[in-house]
Structure 1
Amino acid sequence: MSTSQPETPPTVDIRARNRNRTMLVAIGVLFFGSMLIAGALRFSGWQPEGRKNHGELLQPPTDLRELVPQTAEGGAYAWNPGERTWRIMLAPPDACGSECERLAHDLDTVWRLFGKDADRVHVLWVCDSNDCMPPPDAQVPRTLKVIQGAGQWRERIPGLADPAGVPVYVIDPHGFVVLRYAPGFDAGGLRADLAKLLKLM
C-alpha cells in the first residue's frame, strides 16, 4: 500500500504577482487622476477652444421681453421669437465719430459673411440723434434698425455705458441679452459666436 504524498502547492511567481499589482495601481491612478484633472478644469472654468465664447457670457442673461423698442420711423420693433431672429445691438454715444464709422464697417462685414442666414440677423443701432449715427455714406447691413430711447436700454443692460468705448451685445430671438463684446472687440470673434448660435436655433 503506497502512502500518498501531500500535494505540493503551486509555486507563486512573485515577479508576475508584483507586475500585476503594479499594473492595477497604474490603471487606478490613470482613471482617478483623469477624473481629478477633469474636475479641476471644469471648476476653474476652462473649456476646449472650440466651445469657448469670444464674447462675455452674461449670467443671468438680461431679460428685455417687456421692453418694446421704438424705431426711428415711429413703429414698434417686435421680438417675434418664432422667426428665430438674432440681434446685434449697440448704443453709441453722441459724437462717436470714427468709432461709429469703424463699427458700421465691421458689423456690415460680419453681417455679409452670414450669407443665406444674414436676414436672420438684425442690427439694432440704438441712437436718439444724428450725432450717434454712422456716416451717411457708410455701408450698413440691410437689416439695420435705428432704435430710439437709448436711456431705457442703458438702464437695463449692464455695462452699456462704457467709458472705454462702445460695447456690442447679442440678443437671442426671445429678447434675452446673452453675450457682451467689450469696446475694441474682434469682429471675427463676434461672427464665430453668432454663427454657432444660428446653427443651434
Structure 2
Amino acid sequence: MGNTMNPTNTSEAPTAHNRRRGRVQLLLIVLGVIGPMILATGMYKFQFWVPESRSYHGELIGNGQTRAEIGVQADEKRWQILVTAPQACSEDCRQLVYLARQVQIGLGRDASRASHALAVAQPLDADYDAQLQREYPQLQRYPLDLPAYQKGAQGSEEAQLWIIDPHSNLVLRYDARIKGKALLNDLRHLLKLSNIG
C-alpha cells in the first residue's frame, strides 16, 4: 500500500513544482516589461535619479504645462518659438523677437517645422507694430492673458522666450540673455529627437 502512494505523490510533485516554476517565470516576464515603465514614471513624477548633467541651455519645463496655462490661446500644430511680454515690448522683448525669427530661419530645411510668435499684454507702439508688419510677415501675434501668465510663469515680469511642442506643451524657457547659437542648438536637438511637428 505504501508503494501505491509513492508513484502518485511523485507524479503530482513535479506537476506542482512545474506550475510554481511557470508562475515565477511569468511574474518575472511581467516585471521585466512593466517594471521599467513604472520606474520611469516614478522618476519623472517624483524627480529621483534624474541626472544632474544636461545638454540644453534653457530651463526645462517638465511638468506638462501648456501654452494656455501661461495665458496664450493659439492653435499651432508645429514647434513654436514664442516670446512673451507681460509689460510693454521693450528692448529685451524686441531682441527676443528678432532672435526667434533668426533661429527659425537658421533651422534651414527644418524651418517649416517651426514658427515664431509674440504674445503681449499691452498694445505695441505704432512704430514697432509697423516694423513687425513690414519686416516680420510670418510672425504670429497673440494677446497675453496677464493673470494666467503671472500664475503660470511664476510671476516673471520680464520678456521670456519659450519653445513649445506641437501638442502645446511648454518644453524650454529662456530669458533675454540667451545666445542665438545655444537656442538654435536646443531646437535642432528637439527636432532631431521628435517625430511630431
Place the TM-score, normalised by the shorter chain, in its bin. 0.5 to 0.7
1:33-56 CA-partner distances (Å, limit 9, x unpaired): xxxxxxxxx958333xxx611111
- The C-alpha deviation readout for 1:137-187, integer Å capped at 9, x for no partner, is 35755542101143265055324x424x31211111111111111232222
Residue 57 of structure 2 corresponds to 54
| The one of 153, 157, 167 aligned to 1:158 | 153
1:116: Cα distance to partner?
1.6
1:194 aligns with 2:187: yes
Q: Distance in 2 between matches of 1:46 and 1:180?
A: 18
Whether the 8 Å contact between 1:121 and 1:143 is mirrored in structure 2 is no
Matched, 1:109 2:102: yes
Aligned counterparts of 1:113 and 1:186: Cα–Cα separation in 2: 13
Which amino acid in the other structure matches residue 186 of structure 1? Answer: K
Deviations 1:52-107 (A, max 9, x none): 1111111213134799955xxxxxx4244xxxx10111221343332233222222
Partner AA of 2:124 in structure 1: N
- AA aligned to 1:106 is L
Partner of 1:121: 114
Between Structure 1 and Structure 2, how many residues are aligned? 145
Larger Rg over CA atoms: 1
Which residue does the alignment assign to 2:26?
none
Amino acid of the structure 1 residue aligned with 2:66: D
Residue type of the alignment partner of 1:158: A
Question: Aligned pair in 2 of structure 1 residues 93, 140: CA closer, same or farther (>3 Å)?
Answer: farther
Cα distance change of structure 1 residues 63 and 118 upon mapping to structure 2, 3 Å threshold: same
**Percent of residue pairs bearing the same amino acid type:** 25
Aligned match of 1:87: 80
Unmatched runs of 5 consecutive residues or more in structure 2: 1-47
Aligned counterpart in structure 2 of residue 136 of structure 1, from 115, 130, 133: 130
Return the structure number with greater helix share: 2
Aligned to 2:51: 45
| CA distance 1:96–1:179, shift in 2 (3 Å) | same
1:66–1:58 Cα change, 3 Å: closer
TM-score normalized by the length of structure 1: 0.58
Where 2:110 maps in the other structure, the secondary structure is: helix
> Is there any run of 5+ residues in structure 1 with no aligned partner, and where?
1-41, 71-76
Deviations 1:17-45 (A, max 9, x none): xxxxxxxxxxxxxxxxxxxxxxxxx9583
Question: Does structure 1 retain, via aligned residues, the 8 Å contact 2:70–2:150?
Answer: no
Distance 2:92 2:186 in 1: 22
User: Which residue in 2 is equivalent to 1:26?
Assistant: none
